[in-house]
Amino acid sequence: MQLCPQWLGWRAMFGVAAVLAVGLGVLIAVFVPRLERKTSTRYAALLASMWQLFMRHKPLRLASAIQACVFAVFSAFWSVLALHLARPPFGLGAAAAGAFGLVGLVGVLAANLGGRVIDRVGPQSSLRVGLVCCVLAFGVLGLDGSMRGLVVGVVLLDFGLSVANVANQSMVMVMVMGLEPDARSRINTVFVTSIFLGGALGSAAASAAWAHGGWPDVCVLGLAVAILALGIHLVAKPDWGPAASAR
C-alpha cells in the first residue's frame, strides 16, 4: 500500500482505504455475533459515565496518558517520514518510506520478546525500558542525519514502542480493568479513545513542527513527548490496582 502514492498518486490511498473499510464492515456484519444488552442505562448516560470513570480512577488516567503519548510518538514520526526522505540528502519517494516499514518489523519480534520480559521483570520495568528506547530513538534521529542514523532510530523507536505497548496494555488488562468489573467495556473505551486522540494530536503537532522547522523540530517534538511519557511513568508511580483509584 505504501507504493500507491508513488505509482498511482496520493488519492489512490483513499480509494484503497475506502474499499478495505467497506470490506471490513461486511465481515463484521456477517461474522461478529449479536449480544444481548446487559444494561438498561440509556446510551447518553453510558457516554457520560465514561468521563466519570476517567476522573474517578487515577490508574486509568495514568495508563491512558502514557498510551496517548506512545501513539503520539508513533504518529509524529511516521506522518512526516515520507516528507523527510523526499528532501536532501535522501531525495527518495514514497516507496522508500514504505520500505522503512520492513525495517520496523523488529517491532513484531519485540512484541514477542516483550511478553517474555514482562513475565520475568514485570510490566512496569518493561514499560520503562520501552519508553527509554523511544527517548534514545529521537536522540539518534535528531543528532545523526544520515541513512544509518535513520535506520538505527527506526529500529530503536519500533522496539521501544512495541515493548511499551505490550507492557502498558498488560497493566491495563490485568489491573485497571479490575477497578470496576461491571464497567470493563467502558474503561476499555476510555483507554482506546485516549490512544487515538494521542495519535491524532501527534500527527497534527508533527505537521506543524515540520512546517515550522522541518525534521529537527519533529525530532524535538517526538523527544519531548517520549520524555513526557517516561516522566509520567516515573513520577506518578501508582499502585496499579483498585486501592490506588483516586476518588
Convert the pLDDT of each residue in 86-140 to its tens digit. 888 888 877 777 777 777 676 667 667 766 777 788 888 889 999 999 999 999 9
**What is the model's pLDDT at position 104?**
66
Q: Give the model's confidence band at 244: pLDDT under 50 very low, under 70 low, under 90 confident, else very high.
A: very low
Instruction: Answer yes or no: is pLDDT of 141 > 90.
Output: yes
Of the two residues 112 and 141, the one the predictor is more confident about is: 141
pLDDT for position 7 = 62
Q: How far is CA 239 from CA 2, 47, 130, 220, in A?
A: 42, 27, 20, 31
How does pLDDT run across 37-48, given as a tens digit for each residue? Answer: 767 778 788 888
Task: Say whether pLDDT at 64 is over 90.
Answer: yes
3-state secondary structure of 158: helix
Which of 208, 228, 185, 240 minimizes the C-alpha distance to 57?
A: 240
- Report the pLDDT averaged over residues 216-234: 96
pLDDT at site 237: 63
* Angle at the Cα of 151 from the Cα atoms of 130 and 211, rounded to 5 degrees: 90
Three-state DSSP class for residue 49: helix
Q: Helix, strand or coil for residue 240?
A: coil
The grid coordinates of residue 226 equal: 517520549
Q: Contact 131/231 with Cβ under 8 angstroms?
A: no
Q: DSSP for 58-108, please give it.
A: HHHHHHHHHHHHHHHHHHHHHHHHHHHHHSTTT---HHHHHHHHHHTTHHH
Report residue 238's pLDDT band, with 50, 70 and 90 as the boundaries.
low
- State residue 232's pLDDT score: 94
Could you give the domains of the chain?
A: 1-33 (no CATH), 46-237 (1.20.1250.20)
- pTM, whole model, 2 decimals? 0.83
Average pLDDT, rounded, for the chain: 85
